Amino acid sequence: MQTDRQPVIILVRPQMGENIGAAARAMLNFGLTEMRLVDPRDGWPNPRAVAMASGAAGRVLDTARVYPTLAEAMEGVDYAFATTARGRELTKPVFTPATAMEQARAHDGRTAIIFGPERAGLENEDVARANAIVTVPVNPDFPSLNLAQAVLLMGYEWGRDTLPPEPAPQGRRPAGEIAADRIEIEKLGDHYEEKLQAAGFFFPETKAPAMRLNLRNMWSRLTLTRGDVQILHGMLRQLTRR
């Protein structure tokens, strides 16, 4: 993913190192790596941010830059989105996160997403510097999101078209989570049929063919992983162990 096409994440006057670290984790979840901080309350660097960021510290926090003002933090930015849940008297386009990130992907220049301090959010003077407003359509009686949640939502919408469409592509899944194939299901059915036959399950003899058919049909209807198949084999071996 080209970093010069990613939105810059600007945190304006963030108050707690833990929230900066959590925002960094949310960013890296969706491939975003450029963070800019405007006048962080507790100074910078902040060990609490590093502790909360975990694996994102090296990729995001170590390269984060600090600026005294929002105007300076917007260096090189051509189009900026201000995130806010409150109504504003400022006349600007208002987007949802999804439509905002569609605009960001289509924009030729550098874009930024601006987030306000945890307690009160962005001030009008901050919002005035942005080109558009982003508001998340949430419960109007409780529209408050914490900083990391807001960053996560925007990151998700940004990454929707650039990250893998599946939560865990098959090549990256543990072997036990891969869907069992037809042969594995057939062998599982054979194992159960053999043990059930030895236990006298298929009785009376006249009904045995239909019982075997129904059992085989049941196995084919189940959506099993390779791990599931191994567990079922193991359960049967344990139950029939002499």
Strand intervals (E) in 84-191: 94-95, 111-115, 132-134
Output Rg (C-alpha) for the chain, integer angstroms.
27
8 A C-beta contact, residue 81 and residue 132:
yes
117: nearest Cα among 34, 16, 7, 25: 16
Q: Per-residue pLDDT for the chain (242 aa), expressed as one digit of tens each?
A: 455 689 999 999 999 999 999 999 999 999 999 999 999 999 999 999 999 998 899 999 999 999 999 999 999 999 999 998 766 678 899 999 999 999 999 988 999 999 999 888 899 999 999 999 999 888 888 877 899 999 999 999 998 877 776 665 555 667 678 889 999 999 999 999 999 999 999 999 999 999 999 999 999 999 999 999 999 999 999 998 86
Tell me the C-alpha to C-alpha distance, in Å, between residue 115 and each of 61, 164, 183, 229. Answer: 16, 26, 53, 48
| Burial class of residue 45, CB neighbours in 10 A (0-12, 13-18, 19+) | middle
| pTM flag (> 0.85) | no
Residue type, 219: W
d(CA 75, CA 72): 6
| Burial class of residue 183, CB neighbours in 10 A (0-12, 13-18, 19+) | exposed
HSE of 159 in the Cβ direction (CA atoms, 13 Å)?
19
d(CA 152, CA 5): 18
Q: Give the other-Cβ count within 10 Å of 173's Cβ.
A: 15
